[in-house]
Each structure stands twice: as C-alpha cells, then as structure tokens.
Amino acid sequence: MLDEPLYRRSWNADRFFPHLPGTAKLTRVLSDDEARTWFARTSSAEGTRQAP
C-alpha cells in the first residue's frame, strides 16, 4: 500500500481531505501470540513486487 503504484492511472486515486485531521492512538501492544494469530489471517503477497 505504501509503495509507488505499479502503473500510472489516468485518475487521481488519492483521498485528500484537508479539513479532516487524521489521528491514531495506541491502546495496547499485542503479545507475540496475538501478533502471530493476526498475521496468519492476512493474505500472502504473491504476485506483488517486493521492496529492493
């Protein structure tokens, strides 16, 4: 998601809301077991490019 797009699009895919501030709040740190469980639920990165 944070890499550059694989190809240039003819439309602006950005979402820019200058009057809507973003926030993030860390409520707790996952344990090793919880992190492994959540990571196992994510899909693999097959077919995507890898960072150099």
User: What is the chain written as a DSSP string?
Assistant: --SPPSS--SS------TTS--------PPPHHHHHHHHHTSPP-TTSPPP-
Residue 3 near residue 49 (C-beta atoms within 8 A): yes
**Which regions in the chain score pLDDT beneath 70?**
1-3, 12-15, 43-52
pLDDT score at 27? 95
pLDDT score at 28? 95
